[in-house]
Amino acid sequence: MQVFGATEQAGHERILFAQDHESGLKAIIAVHSTVLGPALGGTRFYPYDREEDALADVLRLSRAMTRKNAAAGLEHGGGKGVIIGDPRTRKSERLLRAYGRVIESLGGDYVTAEDVGTTIADMEVIGRETRHVTGTARDIGGSGDPSPTTALGLVAAMRGTARFLWGSADLSCRHMAIQGVGKVGGAFARLLAAAGARLTIADVNERAVATLADELGADIADPGAIHAVDCDVFAPCALGGALNSETVPELRCAAVLGSANNQLADDGLAADLAARDILYVPDFIVNAGGVINLAEEIGRQYQPERAEGHVEAIEASVTDLLARARETGATPLDEAIALADRRIREAGPLPAAAS
């Protein structure tokens, strides 16, 4: 068995396997890169079927965080943690504190935050054992739930995209189709409605979608057909993989821009979208508001106005990125990857790419 140099581990600085028999903790922390600063990324608590699935997930997610943090201009590298188990039955103070001690043992190379299966309250418990945690509650001086700031970043990205495509950042004449109106998608819909946009929304949670449609005067689409709505912008704000070989040919929009991570089932689809003259604004650029907000809490007093100022800058970054892509003929995805790689290269060696 090859331990070092396995392809999927290429480029990772550290991979820590940790267990605590008392609490049942089984965790993996992957520090992909600290070239730009301490690795920042959330902790996913998930009932993986197999331990190798957890390892594959943490390696993939930590690598993606390096790219997202670099492209967002943060002084942070990429990392991620996973705790194996069902958070509904396995989570306890003892386990979270044991996990906090594991993070502390990394001496600040990894800073954690909430992710799928972990909450703001969990961060407070982890924080009893380590300072290297962010995304704690506002009432204890933390940055709180990142979702509203992520939504703010999406609107900023939307304005930048509208200016690029239609010469005006005004969203009042735009029709947006939003897939998933949870924490981010719901907040995004409210901000767009306030900007006068026309909305069509979909969610597998029928009650949530009906209530929001009522509140905002939005149309409702079937969750299986929202991607095919004739609109200006399709916004995937639910799960990853919304853009795949079946949905891409059915799109009837000018652009795709949403919060979901890993929207493209495979990166090659960016070229298919470009061939269909659909502008894909890369997910890790437009959904960076959440991590920008989290970074604002690290090592200093969190100030919402300063965080919002940084998030608003996504508008200009998106306009620049799209203009550069038009100039070079590359897809915005390739340009965004090049931007992140350039930043890391200027600061230090680029982690080896995994194939």
Nearer to ligand NAD, 98 or 247 (CB): 247
Q: Given CA atoms 238, 242, 248, 249 in this order, what sign does their dihedral have?
A: negative
Q: Do 56 and 30 contact (CB within 8 A), yes or no?
A: no
Q: How far is the CB of 284 from ligand NAD (least distance, A)?
A: 9
Q: Which stretch binds ligand NAD (CB under 6 A): 142-150, 162-170, 296-304, 309-317?
A: 142-150
Nearer to ligand NAD, 180 or 282 (CB): 180
Respond yes or no: is residue 80 known to be catalytic. yes
Q: How far is the CB of 146 from ligand NAD (least distance, A)?
A: 4
Site string for ligand NAD, 177-196 (x = CB under 6 A): --xxxxxxx-----------
Closest CA to 260 of 171, 338, 180, 203: 180
Instruction: Choose, by CB under 6 A, the member of 13, 203, 308, 335 that binds ligand NAD.
Output: 203
The DSSP code sequence of 83-144 is EES-HHHH--HHHHHHHHHHHHHTTTSEEB-B-TT--HHHHHHHTTT-S-B----GGGTS--
Instruction: Choose, by CB under 6 A, the member of 62, 287, 319, 331 that binds ligand NAD.
Output: 287
Q: Which stretch binds ligand NAD (CB under 6 A): 82-90, 254-262, 302-310, 328-336?
A: 254-262
Can residue 281 be called a binding residue for ligand NAD (CB under 6 A)?
no
Instruction: Choose, by CB under 6 A, the member of 261, 330, 334, 350 that binds ligand NAD.
Output: 261
The residue number with the shortest CB distance to ligand NAD is 182
Strands (E), the chain: 14-20, 25-33, 39-40, 43-46, 77-84, 110-111, 175-179, 198-202, 219-220, 233-236, 255-256, 279-280
Q: How far is the CB of 20 from ligand NAD (least distance, A)?
A: 27
Residue 146, helix vs strand vs coil: coil
Q: What one-letter code names the amino acid at 37?
A: G
Kindly list the distances between the CA atom of residue 260 and the CA atoms of 27, 47, 67, 115, 237, in Å, as whole numbers in the listed order: 25, 21, 16, 13, 5
Q: Which stretch binds ligand NAD (CB under 6 A): 88-96, 255-263, 306-314, 315-323?
A: 255-263
Q: How far apart are the first and last CA of the chain?
A: 19
Can residue 237 be called a binding residue for ligand NAD (CB under 6 A)?
yes
Footprint of ligand NAD on this chain (CB under 6 A)?
Answer: 146-147, 150, 179-185, 202-205, 208, 223, 237-239, 259-261, 287, 290
Please identify every residue annotated as catalytic.
80
